[in-house]
């Protein structure tokens, strides 16, 4: 199974995301392969650990956009939820939301790296 098929098997809407990439599967795959190397998730994790709310907002916002562009909708939704909570000064559930975000991130990266 190739990477895109693997992503489809975990619920990524490939038809929609391929349209964003002008139905160019090779181009989409090239961007998907870069995703695990992006340091935004690691920076977000560190910000959560340090309770650096300004940085959480910034990193979660970046991850939200990247994930949305690649069709990682659940990941994008969890990142958006973190952004909204920080903007409302509602910090109580950030670690729980980050846990769900991390689980989805792990599934995606496992597929991309061939372990899923």
3-state secondary structure of 77: helix
User: What is the CATH number assigned to the segment(s) 3-112?
Assistant: 1.20.120
Question: For the residues 84-99, what does the mean pLDDT come to?
Answer: 97
Question: Does the pLDDT value for residue 1 go beyond 70?
Answer: no
Do 10 and 111 form a contact (C-beta atoms < 8 A)? yes
Q: Please work out, in degrees rounded to the nearest 5, the angle formed at the alpha carbon of residue 28 by the alpha carbons of 110 and 58.
A: 70
2: left (phi over 0), alpha (psi -120 to 50) or beta: beta
User: Could you identify the residue written with the tokens 């340091």?
Assistant: 39
| Domain edges within the chain | 3-112
**Tens digit of each residue's pLDDT (9 = 90 or more) over 46-77:** 999 999 999 999 999 999 999 999 999 999 99
Question: Does the pLDDT value for residue 98 go beyond 80?
Answer: yes
């Amino acid at each position: 199974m190739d990477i895109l098929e693997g992503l489809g098997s975990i619920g990524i809407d490939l038809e929609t995301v391929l349209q964003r990439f002008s139905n160019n599967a090779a181009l989409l795959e090239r961007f998907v392969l870069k995703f695990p190397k992006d340091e935004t998730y690691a920076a977000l994790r560190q910000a959560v650990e340090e309770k650096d709310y300004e940085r959480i907002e910034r990193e979660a916002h970046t991850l939200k956009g990247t994930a949305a562009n690649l069709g990682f909708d659940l990941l994008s939704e969890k990142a958006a939820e973190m952004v909204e909570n920080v903007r409302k000064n509602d910090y109580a559930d950030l670690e729980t939301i980050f846990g769900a975000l991390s689980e989805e991130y792990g599934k995606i990266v496992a597929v991309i790296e061939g372990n899923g």
